[in-house]
Amino acid sequence: MTSQILAMVFVQLVAAGLGGYALTLWFLKARNLTVIGFHAVAGLAGIETLGANIRLSDLPADAPARGIALLSLELFGAAVVAGLVSALIGKRRPQLANLLLAVHVVGALAALFAALSFARDVSGA
């Protein structure tokens, strides 16, 4: 595995771990904005490293692994929007915010698994 792929996987797993910790705190009604902030930064860094790895890979435009990576980027984008909107409307519309939080979690997990699949295909493992 190249160092770029390892960095991408590491950053995305850190973002997922921080997200899981933030979700645990949310269930305990103990929100921590520092954890949420680091989760957001790590998540955006994970998206950036995925985009860089797509660009740096020598895959042809019609390669299945490239399609999986682009799908992962789209799912990450939807997860970011859902998470941001959920945070913005949380106090005024709690039911909608909870639904968007669920979309955020499911979309991000699906994107993470697609990114890990891309990493496996690119690394040749």
Tell me the per-residue pLDDT of 58-81, one tens digit each, with 9 for 90 and over: 888 889 999 999 999 999 999 999
Count of the separate structural domains present in the chain: 1
Q: Comparing C-alpha atoms, which of 28, 107, 42 is closest to residue 75?
A: 107
In the block, which residue shows the tokens 């997200």?
19
Tell me: pLDDT of 48 over 80.
Answer: yes
Q: For residues 110 and 88, what is the distance between their CA atoms, to the nearest angstrom?
A: 23
Angle formed by the axes of helices 64-89 and 33-56, to 10°? 160
pLDDT of residue 40: 95
Work out the average pLDDT over 8-30: 94
Tell me the per-residue pLDDT of 86-110, one tens digit each, with 9 for 90 and over: 989 988 999 999 999 999 999 999 9
Question: What spatial distance separates the first Cα and last Cα of the chain, rounded to whole Å?
Answer: 8
CA atoms within 13 A on the CB side of 43: 29
Q: For residues 47 and 49, what is the distance between their CA atoms, to the nearest angstrom?
A: 6
Tell me: pLDDT of 1 over 60.
Answer: no
